[in-house]
Amino acid sequence: FADARTVPPKNDADWMARYHTIPSQTLPYYHEKVFAGNAFCFCFHPLGRNGIICGVMSSEAHKKLLYLHGFASSGSSGTVDLLRHEYWEKRKTDKVVVLAPDIPVDPVVALPMLKDLVAKEQPALIIGTSMGAMYAQQLRGFERICINPSFSLSKHYSILSVGRHKWLNRRQNGELTFQVTKDTIAHFAEMEAHQFDGLDEVDQIFCHGLFGDADEISAEARPVFEQHYPGMSSTFEGGHRMNDELVHHVLFPFIDSLGAL
């Protein structure tokens, strides 16, 4: 890395040739803050594959996993508990911090919040289920696992309907119910129409789709995913929702196969 400490990559192609990975969305920050004079700083690329010089990381720093829940759920689900047990509590070394925010109902609020979050936290891996997978797909520049993504939630009238609904899991703010309006549904439809905008060939290889063969809710999502991410989908025996067995026997082995954590 002697040359990298003094000569920043010229462009995306130079970055890929040098580090064998895609450039971070915050590459200008690395150029300005790191290559300008912080020669001995080392940390991991957001994709978690190759080390690059990009900022100060102390010996106590940990990789991060971002989990994005489905519609009407929260960051306090059983899946999150299992992820934290597997990648933090069980590990004596290489512990992973599991981030699981409560996603706001309206995508006008939710998507910018999530983009700000990944820019700040730089997760090594993003996992989304259902609605969360639809958001995860749009967080480019990071390795993502999209489990049974709901790419057209606005058309699922039995799920996203006008009225007051109950949260399925405890929310951090203590709310028990939430409101869906016509504007909420319109905002989902608008986001869905543009959710694949800007996708390039480089980022296509870092988004993985996991699809249950008995998914009763988002079965139409797989051909859409494969159109935009050819060769990046896998099938598992199961339905739309993850349970403890699927987390242990499908999700954990798949995560470990990526080597991101």
Would you report the helix, strand and coil content of the chain in percent, each value rounded to 5?
A: 40, 15, 45
What per-residue confidence (pLDDT) applies to 137? 95
Q: What average pLDDT values come out for the chain (261 residues) when binned by 10 residues? A: 43 51 42 34 39 38 92 88 89 88 94 94 94 95 93 84 89 90 94 92 90 83 92 88 85 88 82
Strands (E) in 74-206, as ranges, are 96-99, 125-129, 144-147, 163-166, 177-180
What per-residue confidence (pLDDT) applies to 16? 53
Model confidence, pTM: 0.74
What per-residue confidence (pLDDT) applies to 9? 54
CA 100 to chain centre: 11
What per-residue confidence (pLDDT) applies to 97? 92
What per-residue confidence (pLDDT) applies to 60? 53
Residue 233: half-sphere exposure toward Cβ, Cα within 13 Å:
18
